[in-house]
Amino acid sequence: MIRLIAIPNPRAGQAFIDYMASRDIDIQMMPEGEGLFALWLVDEQHQIEAEAELNTFLNNPTARQYQSASWDMAESRTARFYYPREGLIASLKQNSGPFTLSIMIVCIVAYAGLMLGFGNDVFSLLHFPATEEQQWQIWRLFTHALLHFSAMHIVFNLLWWWVLGGKIEKQCGSAKLVQLFLLTSLFSGLGQYAFEGPAFGGMSGVVYALLGYLWLMGALAPQRGLSIETAYVGFMLLWLVVGFFEPFGMAIANMAHLFGLISGCAIGVFDAKFSRAARHS
C-alpha cells in the first residue's frame, strides 16, 4: 500500500474513494490521529493515475463527478464510514523503518536480559567506558543508549524513539537516522559521563536529540517536510527542566538529556543551512 495524503475531512476523502472505485482503483482511508485521515492506494501499479487524480480532486473537491460517484457507489458500501484497523505489528512497520525497529528490538532484548537475572553481564557489556581498558572498546560510546532499567524507562523512551526516529527514517532514510543515533548517543553519553560518571543508560539522550533535530528542521527548513508539533516540544522541554529536580526520587540522566538536545539542534541547524540538500533547495 502507498500513502497518498492525509486530510482533515473524512467525507471529502470518501468522495475521492468513491470516485476512484468507479474507475476500479481501490483507495482505503485510515485515521492517523490529531483529526487527520490518510488515504492509502492498495495497488501500486495505479500510483501515477491515483496521484494525478488526487491533484485534480484537491483543486476542486466539490466537482460534480465526485458527488455523482458517491451516489453511484452508495449501494455498494455501507452508509457509515469504514476505516480498516491495523494490527500492532503492521502499525509499527508502517510508521517506522528497519533501523528504528532494529534498535527497539535490541533494547527490548537487553532489558529482558536485565530482568531475567543477567543484569551484571548485560550492563558490563554495554555501559559507557569506565576504565582505561574500556576506553578502547569503542562500541561502549554508543551502546549505553540500549540500556534501560525499568518498565516505565523503556516504554517512555521507545515510544518517543518510534515516533521521532520513525518519522525521520521514513522521510530521510535509514542512513540519516543511523548518523543521528551514533552522533547523538556519543555526545549525550560524553556529557553525562563528564558530570555524573559512567553509571547510566537509556535512549533518552538520543530522543531529546531527535526532538531538537525535528524542531530546528521544521523552523529553519520547512520545505524538507520534517517538523514536530509545538505541544510535543513544550512537553519535552518541561520534562527536561523537571528532571533536574529528580521528582519522586527518580535517578534521571539529566546531562544526557541536555547534551542530546543540544547535539540534535546543532545537527538540525547544519542540515537546514549547510547540507547538500539545503544548498539545492
What pLDDT score was predicted for residue 85?
A: 53
Q: Please, what's the b/e burial string for 29-55 (b: 16 or more CB within 10 A of its CB; e: otherwise)? A: bbeeeeeebbbbbeeeebeeebeebbe
The CATH number of whichever domain residue 69 belongs to comes to 3.30.70.2350
Based on the structure, what is the number of domains in the chain?
Answer: 2
Task: Based on the fold, state whether residues 21 and 155 are members of the same structural domain.
Answer: no
- Residue 53, domain extent: 2-85
Report, as residue numbers or ranges, the catalytic residues.
204, 257
Task: Based on the fold, state whether residues 123 and 161 are members of the same structural domain.
Answer: yes
| Proportion of the chain above pLDDT 70, given as a percent | 88
| Number of Cα atoms under 13 Å in the Cβ half of residue 194 | 10
Task: Based on the fold, state whether residues 175 and 229 are members of the same structural domain.
Answer: yes
Task: Based on the fold, state whether residues 167 and 244 are members of the same structural domain.
Answer: yes
Q: Which of 255, 126, 118 is nearest to 193 (CA)?
A: 255
Task: Based on the fold, state whether residues 15 and 97 are members of the same structural domain.
Answer: no
Q: Which of 33, 65, 85 is the last residue of a domain?
A: 85
Task: Write the pLDDT tens digit of every residue in 103-145.
Answer: 999 999 999 999 998 989 999 999 999 888 898 999 999 999 9
Task: Based on the fold, state whether residues 137 and 11 are members of the same structural domain.
Answer: no
The CATH number of whichever domain residue 248 belongs to comes to 1.20.1540.10
Q: Which of 191, 232, 202 is nearest to 215 (CA)?
A: 232
CA dihedral 230, 248, 108, 254 (to 10 degrees): 60
**What single letter denotes the amino acid at residue 77?**
R
Task: Write the pLDDT tens digit of every residue in 25-39.
Answer: 989 888 776 677 888
Give 8: exposed, middle or buried? Use CB within 10 Å, 0-12, 13-18, 19+.
exposed
Residues 229-257, mean pLDDT to the nearest whole number = 89
| Biggest CA-to-CA distance, the chain | 75
Q: Which of 30, 58, 85 is the last residue of a domain?
A: 85
